[in-house]
Amino acid sequence: MNVNIHPIILSGGSGTRLWPLSRANYPKQLLPLVAKETMLQATLVRATALSNSQAPIIVCNFEHRFLIQEQCEAIKIKPEAIYLESAGRNTAPAIALAAFHLAQIDENALMIVLPADHVIDDQVAFAQAVETAKMAAQEGYLVTFGVVPSAPETGYGYIKAGAALSFATPIALTAYQVQSFFEKPNRETAAAYLQEGGYTWNSGMFVFTAGNYLQELQRHRPDIFDAVQKAWQEKTTDLGFILPGKEAFAASPSDSIDYAIMQVTDRAAVVPAQFGWSDVGSWDSLWQIAPKDGNGNVTSGDTLVFDTQKSYIRAENRLVAVIGLDDIIVVETADAVLVMHKSKAQHLKTALQQLESNQRKEHLEHLRVHRPWGWYEGIDKGERFQVKRIMVKPGERLSLQMHHHRAEHWVVVSGTAKVTVENQETLFTENQSTYIPLGKSHRLENPGKIPLHLIEVQSGTYLGEDDIVRFEDSYGRII
């Protein structure tokens, strides 16, 4: 069908079930879990490869904006818009932002809504399913994709198909009216669904027109419609990002599209399809879709595996040896190691809550913390001192700032550093160093063509990241 379609990429999740690789400030959709490209990048490539696909609209967490922008630039995809959620309000409000954006131009604009963290193996089969969904959506239906189940899976919701939609029969796949949605079943119930037939997994991907979505949202959840409409009307633009009205969006009830619309509308349709789908919702699901060795193991990085079967072992920084254990998950990062039986994945969230209650930070960020100008990484820390590696991208600069409680020594490892202290600028190159006294305003920038790497040694009575007073910032961060 020669009809334009607008990809809407939802990238607001935190991916806690894939800790310690996924962190709140660097979630799973921004990681290369399955291939060299990240899951977000794979989703963008898949969506823009569809017939008559337009520039995507991304809805994401405010804190991830620069990471997402950087990943789009790396694959040379320029979004139509990037909407930043000031607070997570689930999928129904997030999709509404994109729908309002498109409806201002054309209420009949077709949207395909895709989570940024799903895996799809068969692009051809996916494209065929999308063509069928487009046809049903143009007839006024809100269409979801039902994945034909390969096993009695208990981790997914199920959809029961009703009557076939006759206008879809000329295409390779058929769309059906939705008879019922079902919550995640136990194994016995899931097995019964497979035996009966006509049931599919609820994939969480959708196709509909912007106008029909907003119409159904206003009909069934006017409270969400009104709040998001107000937030959209109060939107502002900063550094190329679109920021909905903060208070209005935060006032929206938090609800998923499934509960808010799909399970209550009389216009729901489903396209059953087989295109190698996974939502990669846990380490166990990642093990299921990954290539395995002769013992059923999936390994990544520097690993030594002996007398072990059906396990997932991932080493990010050092050698990980596993001997005589079956059905386990081992994931090593620079600051945390997870060892878990595959059947205990549901306990991971509880463990992370303990980290939070103990005021630890391992659930929030990695040792390497990404910033719009580059990154920093903790190397060592003790009483009254801290050592960091810092990388500043070419042409970028940190905020003009000062500290009340610490002084800093900077040693340039490679590249060129332009350092401003109390309005005095100095250039430093490899093996040169400088000292930033406590209380002095200063700024670091990279005027060169290659990344700037340096070592920072902090000393003082308090070394927290909140001891930063910003006077000027190029990235719109709080001053």
Nearest-angstrom CA–CA distance, 332 and 314: 6
pLDDT value of position 167: 67
Check whether residue 95 and residue 10 sit in a common domain: yes
Widest CA span in the chain = 77
Q: Tokens 């692009």 label which residue?
A: 123
Domain assignment present for 105: yes
Contact 309, 326 (CB under 8 A): yes
Check whether residue 90 and residue 183 sit in a common domain: yes
Q: Tokens 């939502």 label which residue?
A: 279
At 114, list the tokens.
């895709």
Would you call 227 exposed, middle or buried from its count of C-beta atoms within 10 A (0-12, 13-18, 19+)?
A: buried
Check whether residue 273 and residue 287 sit in a common domain: no
| Amino acid (1-letter code) at residue 30 | L
Specify the CATH number for the domain of residue 175. 3.90.550.10
Check whether residue 12 and residue 146 sit in a common domain: yes
Compute CA distances 186 → 151, 277, 341, 424, 435, whole Å.
Answer: 13, 21, 20, 68, 63
Domain assignment present for 224: yes
Q: Which of 341, 389, 316 is nearest to 26 (CA)?
A: 316
Q: What is the 3-state secondary structure (H, E, C) of the chain?
A: CCCCEEEEEEECCCCHHHCCCCECCECHHHCCCCCCCCHHHHHHHHHHCCCCECCCEEEEEHHHHHHHHHHHHHCCCCCCEEEEECCCCCHHHHHHHHHHHHHCCCCCCEEEEEECCCEECCHHHHHHHHHHHHHHHHCCCEEEEEECCCCCCCCCCEEEEEEECHHHCCCCCCCEEEEEEECCCCHHHHHHHHHHCCEEEEEEEEEEEHHHHHHHHHHHCHHHHHHHHHHHHCCEEECCEEECCHHHHHCCCCCCHHHHHHCCCCCEEEEEECCCEECCCCHHHHHHHCCCCCCCCEEECCEEEECCECCEEEECCCCEEEECCECEEEEECCCCEEEEEHHHHHHHHHHHHHHHHCCCCCCCCCCEEEECCEEEEEEEEECCEEEEEEEECCCCECCEEECCCEEEEEEEEECCEEEEECCEEEEECCCCEEEECCCCCEEEECCCCCCEEEEEEEEECCCCCCCCEEEECCCCCCC
Would you call 183 exposed, middle or buried from its count of C-beta atoms within 10 A (0-12, 13-18, 19+)?
A: exposed
Check whether residue 161 and residue 142 sit in a common domain: yes
pLDDT value of position 1: 57
Nearest-angstrom CA–CA distance, 61 and 354: 24
Q: Tokens 């166990």 label which residue?
A: 284
Domain assignment present for 479: no
pLDDT value of position 60: 95
Check whether residue 233 and residue 325 sit in a common domain: no
CA 296, 297, 302: angle at the middle one, nearest 5? 160
Neighbours of 440 (CB within 10 A): 13
Check whether residue 237 and residue 262 sit in a common domain: yes
Specify the CATH number for the domain of residue 457. 2.60.120.10
Check whether residue 236 and residue 301 sit in a common domain: no
Cis peptide before 20 (omega within 30 of 0): yes
Last residue of a domain, one of 228, 261, 278: 278
Domain assignment present for 478: no
Q: Which mean pLDDT values do the consecutive 10-residue runs of the chain (479 residues) have?
A: 91 88 93 94 97 96 92 96 93 98 96 96 94 94 94 90 75 85 91 91 96 98 97 94 96 96 96 92 92 97 98 97 98 96 88 90 91 94 95 96 96 97 96 96 97 97 91 81
pLDDT value of position 151: 87
Last residue of a domain, one of 278, 307, 339: 278
Nearest-angstrom CA–CA distance, 60 and 45: 17
pLDDT value of position 171: 56
- As for how many domains the chain has, the answer is 3
Q: Which of 150, 145, 80 is nearest to 109 (CA)?
A: 80
Domain assignment present for 359: no
Check whether residue 397 and residue 312 sit in a common domain: no
Nearest-angstrom CA–CA distance, 449 and 9: 33
Task: Label the pairing between strands 176-182 and 199-209.
Answer: unpaired
Strand partners, 332: 315, 337
Check whether residue 304 and residue 237 sit in a common domain: no
Residue 458's φ and ψ, nearest 5 degrees, are -100, 145
Nearest-angstrom CA–CA distance, 214 and 107: 9
Last residue of a domain, one of 278, 296, 331: 278
User: Which range of residues forms the domain containing residue 421?
Assistant: 368-472
Domain assignment present for 143: yes
Domain assignment present for 67: yes
Q: Which of 10, 8, 3, 11 is nearest to 80 (CA)?
A: 8
Domain assignment present for 362: no
Nearest-angstrom CA–CA distance, 306 and 356: 35
Check whether residue 102 and residue 38 sit in a common domain: yes
Predicted structure pTM score: 0.91
Nearest-angstrom CA–CA distance, 282 and 21: 11
Check whether residue 59 and residue 102 sit in a common domain: yes
